């Protein structure tokens, strides 16, 4: 983990957080701290509340109870301001791309910030690393799901966010592209110190790249642990069942 001297090591803290949809509580987190510079993986069956938690961290929703703080300040609708919000980028599981070319899509966030993607020195190398160099002039919405997923990742990475939030970033990818994307995530974390918070349906992906892994079931965190302990020495029986495939997802 890259940690600069004097850097705050708490990126997010959640305390007594709950989220309710249509009178149904779908998420409850008593206490959770996410560290600056870590890769944090969240695993759990479908419907467990993973995406809901990510949306709270990405400032897209507010909890109905409790407090989420980012960089020591409570998120309250006024804070973070736009400039701070731009330091956190989320890539959705089903990315919504514009009906424009791939290069225009990758440049979209930059354009909002008044920059020109064609002048960006990282564009070509990012595209090459993600295997989408040949697609830059194609219409993004006509690409396959896996290609779109990589375009969405490029669109996020080119912004060099401090926090990268990824919702099942490899769910539509073949094994070769899964490896490409995992390598990119690790490199981004190691070279820039980017905090990565990712949901994955693949526990082995968490094992390969995360520093810490958490299991969520029915809206509640069952275990949050160093990835090695999570897999080799789980404290919770639910975790043991999940990693051995006894809980289906
Ligand atoms: N906007 C919403 N309105 C109503 N229910 C929702 C909404 N978003 C999520 N839910 C429900 O909350 C639960 C958790 O959803 P989600 O966080 O998407 O789970 P996961 O990402 O783990 O599959 C699910 O039962 C889902 O149907
Ligand atoms: Mg989800």
- pLDDT, tens digit (0-9, with 9 covering 90-100), for 108-128: 999 998 999 888 889 999 999
Average pLDDT over residues 44-61: 96
149 lies in the same domain as 248: no
Average pLDDT over residues 77-102: 94
Q: Does residue 80 lie in a domain region?
A: yes
More confident residue, 109 or 7: 109
Which residue in 65, 82, 88, 86 sits closest to 11, CA to CA? 88
Pocket test for ligand 1, best of 47, 53, 91, 217 (most atoms within 8 A of CB): 47
Please compute the mean of the pLDDT values over residues 200-219 and round it to a whole number.
96
Give 77's pLDDT tier (boundaries 50, 70, 90).
confident
Dist. CA 125 → ligand 1 center (Å): 36
Mutate to test the pocket of ligand 1, among 24, 26, 46 (most ligand atoms within 8 A of CB): 26
Pair (199, 238) in one structural domain: yes
- Residue 99 tokens, joined: 């009906």
Are 144 and 111 members of one domain? yes
CA atoms of 150 and 160, how far apart (whole Å): 16
Nearest CA to ligand 1 atom 10: 21
Select from 160, 184, 211 the last residue of a domain. 160
The residue among 119, 140, 160 that closes a domain is 160
- Tokens representing 143? 């690409």
Q: Give residue 153's domain range.
A: 94-160
Distance 46 CA to ligand 1 centre (A): 9
Within-domain flag for 234 = yes
Q: 173 and 154, same structural domain? A: no
CATH of the domain at 59: 3.40.50.300
Q: Is residue 29 part of a domain?
A: yes
Same domain, 169 and 62: yes
Atom 16 of ligand 1, residue of closest alpha carbon: 49
What is the pLDDT, as a whole number, of residue 118? 85
**Looking at the domain assignment, is residue 2 inside a domain?**
no
Whether 80 and 193 share a structural domain:
yes
How far apart are alpha carbons 136 and 16 in whole angstroms? 45
Domain co-membership, 98 together with 57: no
- Interhelix angle 175-192/145-157, rounded to 10 degrees, is 10
Domain match, 11 and 76 both:
yes
44 CA closest ligand 1 atom index = 22
Find, among 46, 41, 36, the residue nearest to 4 by Cα: 36
DSSP-H helix ranges across 114-163: 123-129, 145-157
| Distance between CA atoms of residues 74 and 12, nearest Å | 9
Same domain, residue pair 19 and 60: yes
Following CA atoms 238, 240, 243, 244 in sequence, which dihedral angle do they give, to the nearest 10 degrees? -110
Instruction: Kindly calculate the radius of gyration of the chain based on its CA atoms and give it in whole angstroms.
Output: 18
What are the tens digits of pLDDT across the range 85-96? Answer: 999 999 999 999
Residue 1 resides in a domain: no
Q: Rounded to whole angstroms, how far apart are CA atoms 235 and 231?
A: 10
Q: Which helix (H) or strand (E) holds 183?
A: helix 175-192
Q: Report whether residue 52 contacts ligand 1, using a CB cutoff of 6 Å.
A: yes
CA of 53, closest atom in ligand 1 = 17
Residues 71 and 177 in one domain: yes
Q: What is the DSSP letter of 230?
A: H
Measured in Å, residue 113 CA sits from the centre of ligand 1 at: 31
Detail the DSSP E strand segments found in the chain: 10-21, 24-35, 39-43, 65-70, 73-74, 88-91, 163-167, 195-199, 212-217, 220-226
> Is 215 found in the same domain as 122?
no
Tell me, yes or no, whether 196 lies in a domain.
Answer: yes
Would you call the peptide bond into 194 cis, given omega within 30 degrees of 0 as the criterion?
no
Nearest protein CA to atom 18 of ligand 1, as residue: 51
Query: Could you say which of 108, 143, 160 is where a domain stops?
Result: 160
Establish whether residue 47 lines the binding site of ligand 1, counting it when its CB lies within 6 angstroms of any ligand atom. yes
When pLDDT is cut at 50, 70 and 90, the band that residue 2 belongs to is low
CA of 20 to the centre of ligand 2 (A): 16
CA distance 95 to 150: 10
| Whether residues 80 and 181 fall in one domain | yes
C-alpha 52 – ligand 1 centre gap (Å) = 6
Query: What is the pTM (predicted TM-score) of this model?
Result: 0.95
Q: How far is the CA of 154 from the centre of ligand 1 (A)?
A: 26
In a domain, 113, yes or no: yes
User: Percent of the chain scored above 90 by pLDDT?
Assistant: 88
Number of domain units in the chain: 2
Q: Please list all protein residues whose beta carbon sits less than 5 angstroms from ligand 2, which is an ion.
A: 50-51
Q: Say if residue 206 is exposed, middle or buried (CB neighbours under 10 Å; 0-12, 13-18, 19+).
A: buried
């Amino acid at each position: 983990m890259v940690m600069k001297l004097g850097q705050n090591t708490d990126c997010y803290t959640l305390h007594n957080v709950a989220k309710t949809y249509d009178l149904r509580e779908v998420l409850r987190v008593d206490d959770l701290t996410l560290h600056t510079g870590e890769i944090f993986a969240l695993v759990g069956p479908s419907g467990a509340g993973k995406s809901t938690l990510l949306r709270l961290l990405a400032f897209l929703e507010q909890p109905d109870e409790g407090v989420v703080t980012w960089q020591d300040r409570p998120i309250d609708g006024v804070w973070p301001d736009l400039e701070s919000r731009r330091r956190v980028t989320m890539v959705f599981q089903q990315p919504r791309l514009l009906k424009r070319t791939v290069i225009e899509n990758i440049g979209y966030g930059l354009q909002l910030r008044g920059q020109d993607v064609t002048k960006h020195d990282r564009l070509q190398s990012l595209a090459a690393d993600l295997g989408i160099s040949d697609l830059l002039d194609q219409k993004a919405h006509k690409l396959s799901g896996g290609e779109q997923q990589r375009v969405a990742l490029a669109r996020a990475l080119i912004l060099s966010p401090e926090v990268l939030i990824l919702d099942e970033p490899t769910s539509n990818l073949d094994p070769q592209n899964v490896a490409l994307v995992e390598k990119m995530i690790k490199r981004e974390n190691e070279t820039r110190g980017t905090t990565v918070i990712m949901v994955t349906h693949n526990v082995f992906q968490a094992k390969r790249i995360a520093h810490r892994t958490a299991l969520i079931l029915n809206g509640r965190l069952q275990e949050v642990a160093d990835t090695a302990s999570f897999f080799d020495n789980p404290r919770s029986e639910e975790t043991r069942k999940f990693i051995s495939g006894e809980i289906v997802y």
